[in-house]
Chain A
Amino acid sequence: MSGQDGNSDLGLGPSLIDAAPRQQRNTLALWVSRLEGPQTMGRGRGFWFSFLAAVLAAAIYPMFVDGWTVGNTAYFLVWTFMAMGLGVIWGYAGSLSFGQTAFFGLAGYGYGVLTLNFGAAYGFTVLALVLSVGLAALLAVVLGYFMFYGRVQGVFIGIVTLSVTLVFQAFMAQTAGPEWAIGSARLNGFNGMSGMPPLTIPWPGGDVPLYADIALYYVLLALVLLVYLGLRMLLNAPFGNVLVAIRENPERAEMLGYDVRRYQLLGFVLGGALAGLSGVLYTAWGQYITPSSMGITAAALPVIWVAFGGRKDVTATLIGTLVMIFLYQWLTIYGSQYAIVVMGVILVLTVLFAPEGIVLSLMRGLSARLKPAGARQ
């Protein structure tokens, strides 16, 4: 997928090209043009028409089912941010983190502690969301600094992040006693925290609390679109190109003058913040969070979604994640014990037979079939 379009001729090092554009264009147009590019699949009318159709279908979907089902679908959307973040770290930057749930859990608990202490009035839950995501990003900065500036190899990043999330889980699980409280928020050990307010939108004439229902679904859908399109633009921007260059050949990227460590750290922080966003939304969705959300099984699931979808493309990651979460929930309902076994089998089979990811392989096959119709620019 080398860059064929005019924005980035070489796929990397486009800063010189950007500094002297062929025609004057403003920043907004530049960023919009990055919705398509070498680092993301899908371009041209066909793709964007199907994209619009999918968004439209998602938008009118609540009219055909009851509120409970919509709230349940909102639950699927909650997880996509963590998956897309892992896609950035693993698929684009090439360093696999096994412990995204540490950021998820930290932000989830952060949201719980903040809102249980300060309530939901004056739109505080939105501020709590921002602060908690910031907290997760801060942990990612600290952890990422030690790992990437220590120039740790890919394998070790996985182990260290996994150790962090496991120890974090063990720590939260032993906070059952009354001495473990932050302000008026008890941490409650293995049973986890509950009773925090849902996200609440401040509104003249009465705040709107977003319970797991239609309103929350639309907010989450908007957030997913925002993050998805934002990531598309960012990944096709010089930043994304450099990440891919580092994945393909760190030494060469370094020789071209990029500070590999800084880009890896930035990608890691972005992924950590997105995992934190999922954590906050999960906590706000169900109004509870437990240490097991940071356990070994919880940590494995995002890796499975992203591996199944295809880590090297954000669209494939998104689709794959939604499919897998749906499948997992369906399995939990009809054969609760076997759901995890099936997930494990899917992971092993994906790695063995479709290492690029099943959704991504299908997408590539589809676009190869459509190519004679004139998509090649």
Chain B
Amino acid sequence: MLSTLFSFFYQFGDAFAFLVIASMGLAIIFGMMGVINLAHGEFIMCGAYTTVSFAQLGLPLPIAIIGGAMVAGLIGMALEVTIIRHLYNRPLDSIVATWGMSMIATQGVLIVLGSTMQGVGTPLGSFVVGGYSYSTYRVVLMVIAVLLLVGLYLLFYHTRAGVIARATIQLPRMARATGVDTGRVYTLTFGLGAALAGLAGGLYAPTMTLVPTMGTTFMVESFVTVVIGGGDIFLGAAPAAAILAVIRSGMTAWQGQLFGQIGLLITVIIVIRVLPGGLSGWILGGRK
């Protein structure tokens, strides 16, 4: 009985961690700038490839993962300055542009690095509860997902940078009038989003095969979390990830991974009919 309960919580926690880690970068960029970054998957891929390269150079895995996140973040900032910046008043166009970037990145990596790359094994081994063996690394990922949420909360609500960022979201003109360099805020936000995507890639790199199209594996889950969550990360994406994790782990346990995805998709289609503003729109709307 207890082992069944543990198994359920493990499955739930695994799905929750995946949804949170995979969608944070997308959610931050969308929440702050209203841009859906279709190259999100490619930033994840970039983080994963960099992490594995660093690890193969002999760096310890945690350092390699942070390195992967930083490289993805720097590339994100460079792309913001060169391309995205010019498209802020045209949200649909900026999304289309990120799609173009995504195609270039996927195919470019395929040309330069080939169709697959030697990965690193999943670290930390496994433990046994009630006759079933569980991966320790996945438990670490669950802890990291929670820490990530707490860390972002502290960043946005308890630092000066966070205040400036939130001011820029709410009233960009007013923020500019009070001397905030909103352009820099946008660059840093896009960089942070890309870095979080790179972090997701680095964290999940030891658990999956590295192929140039690996970003697509994260796309549906992260899209769905952001659509259901709406604009706010803490009142939207986090609770959305919790709800979706129940659906995903339930459907996956019942019929397999693909049906987990189909379950998410059907949920999102029904939810947008009922709650067009997403969870955060509903929560914030109820508060008024």
Contact = CB atoms under 8 A, between A and B. Distances in A.
A366 interface: no
Contacts of A122: none
Given A160-B269, A163-B220, 8 more contacts: A98-B99, A160-B227, A160-B272, A166-B216, A167-B262, A170-B261, A341-B103, A347-B103
Contacts of A348: 83, 97, 100-101, 104
Interface in A311-353: 337-338, 340-341, 343-348, 351-352
B107 A337 contact: yes
Interface string B195-233: 000000000000000000100100110011011000000
23 contacts: A96-B92, A98-B99, A150-B274, A154-B92, A155-B91, A156-B227, A160-B272, A162-B223, A163-B219, A164-B265, A166-B220, A300-B99, A340-B103, A341-B107, A345-B100, A345-B104, A347-B99, A347-B103, A351-B96, A351-B97, A352-B83, A352-B86, A352-B97
Interface in B82-136: 83, 86-87, 90-97, 99-104, 106-108, 110-111
A163 B263 CA distance: 12
Interface in B169-216: 213, 216
Nearest to B92: A96
Interface stretch (A141-149, A209-217, A225-233, A282-290): A141-149
Interface of A: 96, 98, 143, 145-147, 149-156, 158-160, 162-164, 166-167, 170-171, 174, 296-297, 300, 303-304, 307, 337-338, 340-341, 343-348, 351-352, 355
Most chain A Cβ neighbours within 10 Å, of B87, B95, B110, B270: B95
B273 interface: yes
B265 A167 contact: yes
Nearest to A295: B216
Nearest to A174: B258
Given A158-B36, A160-B268, A297 B103 contact: yes
Most chain B Cβ neighbours within 10 Å, of A147, A159, A345: A159
B96 A96 contact: yes
B239 interface: no
A296 B216 contact: yes
Most chain B Cβ neighbours within 10 Å, of A156, A307, A351: A351
A95 to B, nearest CB: 9
A146 B108 contact: no
What secondary structure prevails in chain A residues at the interface with B?
Answer: helix
A-B interface, 8 closest residue pairs, ranked by CB to CB distance from nearest: A347-B100, A344-B103, A344-B104, A150-B273, A348-B100, A340-B107, A344-B100, A150-B272
A295 to B, nearest CB: 8
A340 B36 CA distance: 21
A98 B96 CA distance: 9
Contacts of B269: 143, 146-147, 160
Nearest to A347: B100
Given A171-B258, A347-B99, A146 B107 contact: no
Contacts of A345: 100, 104
B62 interface: no
B42 to A, nearest CB: 11
Contact of A155 (B92, B111, B220): B92
Nearest to A355: B93
Contacts, number: 122
A160 to B, nearest CB: 6
B109 to A, nearest CB: 10
A152 B216 contact: no
Given A166-B216, A344-B100, A156 B272 contact: yes
A377 B96 CA distance: 37
A162 B91 CA distance: 17
A149 B274 CA distance: 9
B276 interface: yes
B250 interface: no
Contacts of B95: 96, 155, 158
B34 interface: yes
B100 A351 contact: yes
B248 to A, nearest CB: 13
A137 B34 CA distance: 30
Contacts of A341: 103-104, 107-108, 111
Contacts of A307: 96
A150 B224 CA distance: 16
B111 A163 contact: no
A170 B258 contact: yes
Contacts of B86: 352
A334 to B, nearest CB: 15
B272 A337 contact: no
A296 B38 CA distance: 11
A2 B261 CA distance: 46
Nearest to B30: A155
Contacts of A154: 91-92
A85 to B, nearest CB: 17
Contacts of B262: 167, 171
Nearest to A154: B92
